[in-house]
């Protein structure tokens, strides 16, 4: 299973962009990168995913390096409600393996 | 839109008892995943089912078993409960081709 490495924690000022990095150097060619977040003890919430191209949706943007060994999740205008643990996941067929995640704290 | 439904939301059991957790996936989803999240820990993959067959297995104790039924709902059976089994248990479902897994709100199991 491909492993992911993320910073343990990050702070971001409200209204600013939050850039959350992830390393996944052992990713295989056909494995997707997924981002989820978990607020308090709620069920993880899907944010975005991608294979090799950059992706954008109403929540966030995902930038994947050309060699696919790392990616960055961008929350363009962080709000207090974005405070959560963010997980970068390399999906393997029939499972999503969670790493340790980044605890993002958005500051007023 | 319909989401993944888990029941019960809270469950208190004594040591050595048995617990059954249920998961109702989003309609037309063919894959179900189970996760365990201990206090202060990250979700740990337990097991998954695709089209009612076990598709992958993680660090699931032998005391636990699970299955997916003909209506695609799934049950996680936990026997000989231990204090260390106290955790949040999440179920997720997806359409295997589409890939996005949607998680339920979890069942909080407390073993006393």
pLDDT confidence bin for A8, thresholds 50/70/90: very high
Q: What is the mean pLDDT of chain A?
A: 94
Name the DSSP class of A107: E
The lowest-confidence range among A31-40, B9-18, B56-65, B97-106 is B97-106
Question: Between chain A and chain B, how many beta carbons pairs sit less than 8 Å apart?
Answer: 59
Residue B1 has pLDDT above 80, yes or no: no
Closest residue in B to A42 (Cα) is: B105
Q: Which residues of chain A lie closer than 8 angstroms to B56, CB-CB? A: 92-95
A31-74 tens-digit pLDDT: 899 999 999 989 999 999 999 989 999 999 999 999 999 999 99
Residue A95 has pLDDT above 90, yes or no: no
Please name the member of B37, B50, B100 whose beta carbon is closest to the beta carbon of A46: B100
Name the minimum distance, in Å, from the CA of B53 to any CA of chain A: 11
Output the six-digit token pair for B74: 């799934």
Least Cα distance to B64 among B21, B11, B110 occurs for B21
Distance CA A57, CA A53 (A): 13
Determine contact: A8 vs chain B, CB below 8 A: no
Residue B50 has pLDDT above 90, yes or no: yes
pLDDT confidence bin for B107, thresholds 50/70/90: very high
The three-state secondary structure class of A81 is helix
For an interface test with A, the pick among B60, B98, B101, B108 (most A C-beta atoms closer than 10 Å) comes out as: B101
- Averaged over B30-47, what is the pLDDT? 95
Output the six-digit token pair for A10: 């990050």
Residue A2 has pLDDT above 80, yes or no: no
The lowest-confidence range among A29-38, A47-56, B2-11, B92-101 is B92-101
CA A98 to the chain's CA centroid? 11
What pLDDT sits at residue B84?
Answer: 97
Q: What is the mean pLDDT of chain B?
A: 95
What pLDDT sits at residue B98?
Answer: 62
What pLDDT sits at residue B99?
Answer: 77
Strand partners, A61: A56, A74
Closest residue in B to A96 (Cα) is: B45
CB atoms < 10 A from the CB of A92, how many? 15
């Amino acid at each position: 299973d491909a492993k992911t490495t993320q910073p343990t924690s990050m702070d971001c000022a409200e209204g600013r962009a939050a850039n959350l990095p992830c390393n996944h150097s052992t990713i295989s060619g056909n494995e997707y990168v997924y981002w989820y977040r978990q607020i308090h003890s709620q069920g993880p919430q899907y944010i975005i995913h991608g294979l090799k191209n950059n992706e954008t949706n109403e929540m966030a943007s995902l930038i994947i390096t050309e060699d696919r060994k790392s990616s960055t999740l961008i929350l363009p205008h962080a709000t207090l409600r974005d405070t959560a643990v963010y997980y970068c996941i390399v999906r393997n067929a029939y499972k999503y393996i969670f790493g340790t995640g980044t605890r993002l704290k958005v500051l007023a | 839109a319909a989401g993944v439904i888990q029941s019960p939301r809270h469950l208190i059991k004594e040591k050595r008892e048995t617990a059954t957790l249920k998961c109702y996936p989003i309609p037309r989803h063919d894959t179900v995943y189970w996760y365990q999240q201990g206090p202060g820990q990250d979700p740990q993959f337990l097991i998954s089912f695709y089209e009612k067959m076990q598709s992958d297995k993680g660090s699931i104790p032998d005391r636990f078993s699970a299955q997916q039924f003909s209506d695609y709902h799934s049950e996680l059976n936990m026997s000989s409960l231990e204090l260390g089994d106290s955790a949040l248990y999440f179920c997720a479902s997806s359409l295997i081709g589409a890939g996005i897994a949607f998680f339920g709100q979890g069942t909080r199991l407390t073993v006393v």
